[in-house]
Every structure is written in structure tokens, then in C-alpha cells.
Amino acid sequence: MPVDPESPASVKPLSFREAVWLWWKIGWLSFGGPAGQIALMHKLVVEQKKWISDREFLHGLNFCMLLPGPEAQQLVTYIGWRLDSIRGGIVAGILFVLPGALVLWLLAWLSMVAGETRWVTGVFSGLVPVVIAIVLSALIRIARKSLKHPVLWAVAGLAFVALFGFNIYFPAIIGLAALAGVLVHRAIPVLAASWVGSDHGVVPPEPSDGAASAHAGWFRILIVCLALWAFPIVASGFVFGWDSIFVKLGLFFSKVAVVTFGGAYAVLPFVAQAAVENYAWLSAEQMITGLAMAETTPGPLIMVLQYVGFVAAWADPHGMSPLLAATVAAAITTWVTFVPCFLFVFLGAPWMLKLQHVQWLRVALTFITAAVVGVILNLAVWFSLNAYQGETPEGRIFLVVLAVIFFAALQSGRAGVVPIVLLGAVCGLIRAVVGF
């Protein structure tokens, strides 16, 4: 078992069966977004099980922050890889996602078959202010952590203007932010380095035998992962036609998978605007409902993409029953969202020691993170503008007041995301019963 060579006494041996059980447990308990999920992993894997050291856990987290995609899912994949090579990474990553995928599928089906009933509509309306409060809270939290210099504030502002004012393509904003970071590093490397922060005194461990052997198999990993990534898209093309909703979803969310730097909140504006306005796969209200569902289920928030695929195919079942078509589309969407994560981890992990200390790359990622702040602001504005359309004046006041209360509760730290979501659902239900 690969371990931190400088702290062998602190690491306990484990069986593969024991590891599988723990990954399954983490998958069902991973509420609260990336911060809560990472904290849960640290508590169980480092503090209780002592399978890896605290230092290596932090090092793996830093590596996963460099990658596109959900960092919590990639971190659990990385830990599984460190403990039991590629099979450990595959099992850990799948079991982290599977519980949330199953629960979200059930909620999506419920929203489609019972969404027109009064009580279901009321519950989902109560989730609208919750989503707005969560996004605003995330915006403030990330801004405080990321914007350490006026230049970074300017990058965030320009990203917001580019998206909101000029509707510039999201990947282009990410690319321009990265390019700006590289140019700034070349022009003023010392100042740029001060914005990135230190490594907190962490000395990276030497690569394990398992990591070293992974260097030799990189080409095989690349071919297998790319084939798995493309398989459902190609199969859908032959079975359903190359212009089918399944191929469109597979291609679109494959593109999303490689530009999700900064987490789910960063890519959601791109997905929401494209899915609602460009492709008309679902309504703005349904998009907000899907995000609320993803907030209440275990697993990565990016699972909301599965909901988008489900609703899109439900409306365009391609000659099948709506439930079967939606299930196939949800599976394809989830597949092309997470298979790239395994590719990035398995290819990048053996080289992470070098990547962690490439200064120009760290500066570029700092600029990307700053741009993400502006992107999240655009998401908050987009949701706010679309959430209350069709509401009565009294209904708008009610929902705005709820959003302010929920936001204050989140900022104060007196309530977590799950209790807030449940409270919002209850408020929406009461509203439906009272009838205003």
C-alpha cells in the first residue's frame, strides 16, 4: 500500500473490502458541498482510519484544485489511487458519486410526474430563495479567499461584465484569465507570486512505487479513458442518430467537463444559460429546482448536470417512454461528466509533485479563480432575474424576505445548507396550503 514514507508509523494497513465500505459510507454522507465533503474525508480517512498522513491529504487536495472538475470527487479518487492503485481510485470515485446520482434521479422523476400538483409546486417555489442565498453565500466566501489584490478584483469584475454584458463564451473567459495570469507572471513574477500564497510549509512526499509505476502506463490510461469517455456518445449516434438529444447532451457536457475550473458554481452560469436559452432543454425555474435538488443530495454539486440531461430527454424522448429516455440521458450526462475526472487524476497524479511548484501555472490558476468570482456573481444575478418571473407582488416579497433570512443564516454559520433547504421546502409548502 503506498503511504507517506516519512510517517510510516502513523499509517494503518487496510483491506480492500474495508476501503470499499468506507467509500460507500462517504458517498452517502457527503452533504454540504466541497468543504463539508473534504472535511468528512479528512475526519474518516486521516483522523480515524489513519490510512494516509495529514500532509499527504493536503498535498492531494492541492493537486486536485489544479484540475478541472469537482475537487472533492477527484480527491477521493486520488486517495483511493494512493491506497490501492487504479482499482482503488475507480471504486472510490464511483462510490462517491453513485448515491447522489440515485437520489437525484428519483427526485427528478418526482418533479416531472408530480410537478404540476399544488404541493409540489409550492415546495419547489420555496427552494428558489434557498438557491439564491446559497449562491450569494458562496460568492462572498470565495471572494474573500481568492481576491487578495486589486488586480484580482479587476479580473473578477471584467469576467462579470464579459458574461452579463456581452455574453462572451465561458471557456473563452477562463482561457483569457489564464493567459492574463501567465503574462502578469512574466512581467512581475515576484508580485504575482505573492498573490498565490505559500505552500504552508508542506514538504511533498516522495512518489510511491504505485505512483512511479503509473508513469509507464500513462498511454494505456489515456487510451482506455478516452474510449470510455466517447463510448456512450458514439453508441448513441449509431442507435438513436447523430442528431439525437443523447448525442447533443454527451458532446455538450463533455465540453463542460474540461472547463470546470473553480467548481460547480463556476460552470453553472454557462450550463444554465446554454441549456435554458440556447438549447431550450428546460426552463429557468426547472434549472433552479435542479440546483436545489443537487444541494440537498449527497455527492458533488455538479450532479445538477444529471438533472439537466434528465429533463431534456423527458421533453424529447425520441420515440421511447419519457422515463426511459430521461434515464438514458441522465446516465450519459453523468458518465461524460465524471469519466474525465478519472482521466485527469490517473494521468496527473504521478506528475503532481512537479506541477505543484510550477509558479506560472499557479499564477494562471489564481487568475482563473478570480474570474470565477465574477462568473458566480453572474450566476446570482441570472437566478435572481429569472426566479420571480410570473410571481404576484405578494409572492415576490415573500420570496425575497426568505432569501434575505436564509442568506443571513448561512453567513452567521448558525445553519447549514441542508437545514436551510428543508426549511425553504417547508415554507413553500405552507405557502401553497395558505394559497398566496
Average pLDDT value for residue range 73-81: 91
pLDDT at 70 over 80: yes
Query: What's the start-to-end Cα distance of the chain, in Å?
Result: 61
> pLDDT tens, 30-46?
765 666 677 678 878 88
Predicted TM-score of the model (pTM): 0.69
Helix H, strand E, coil C: the string for 94-142 is: HHHHHHHHHHHHHHHHHHHHHCCCHHHHHHHHHHHHHHHHHHHHHHHHH
Give me the count of residues in the chain.
Answer: 436
Residue with more model confidence, 28 or 433? 28
C-alpha closest to that of 207 among 216, 199, 198? 216
pLDDT of residue 263: 63
Percentage of residues of the chain with pLDDT beyond 90? 20
Average pLDDT of every residue of the chain: 78
Helix H, strand E, coil C: the string for 257-320 is: HCCCCCCHHHHHHHHHHHHHHHCCCCCHHHHHHHHHHHHHCCCCHHHHHHHHHHHHHHHCCCCC
Average pLDDT value for residue range 256-263: 74
Task: Give how far Cα 146 sits from Cα of 151, 170, 194, 200, 260, Å.
Answer: 11, 19, 12, 16, 17
pLDDT at 223 over 80: yes
> pLDDT tens, 364-393?
777 887 887 887 787 677 767 766 666 677
- Torsion angle in degrees (nearest 10) through CA of 77, 79, 82, 87: -40
pLDDT of residue 404: 87
Residue with more model confidence, 331 or 121? 331
- Mutual angle of helices 417-434 and 118-146, in 10-degree steps: 150
pLDDT at 106 over 80: yes
pLDDT of residue 207: 42
pLDDT of residue 232: 95
Q: Which of 22-36, 148-162, 411-425 has the highest mean pLDDT?
A: 148-162
pLDDT of residue 105: 93
C-alpha closest to that of 429 among 194, 153, 117? 117
Q: ∠ at Cα 99 (105, 346), nearest 5°?
A: 115
pLDDT at 309 over 90: yes
Residue 325's pLDDT band, with cuts at 50, 70 and 90, is: very high
pLDDT at 298 over 90: no
Q: Which of 63-72, 267-276, 306-315 has the highest mean pLDDT?
A: 306-315
The number of helices, as runs of H, and strands, as runs of E, in the chain is 19, 0
> pLDDT tens, 128-180?
787 778 777 777 877 877 787 888 888 889 988 887 877 776 678 878 888 88
pLDDT of residue 119: 65
pLDDT of residue 200: 39
Point out the least confidently predicted range of 7-11, 299-303, 410-414: 7-11
Average pLDDT value for residue range 1-17: 49
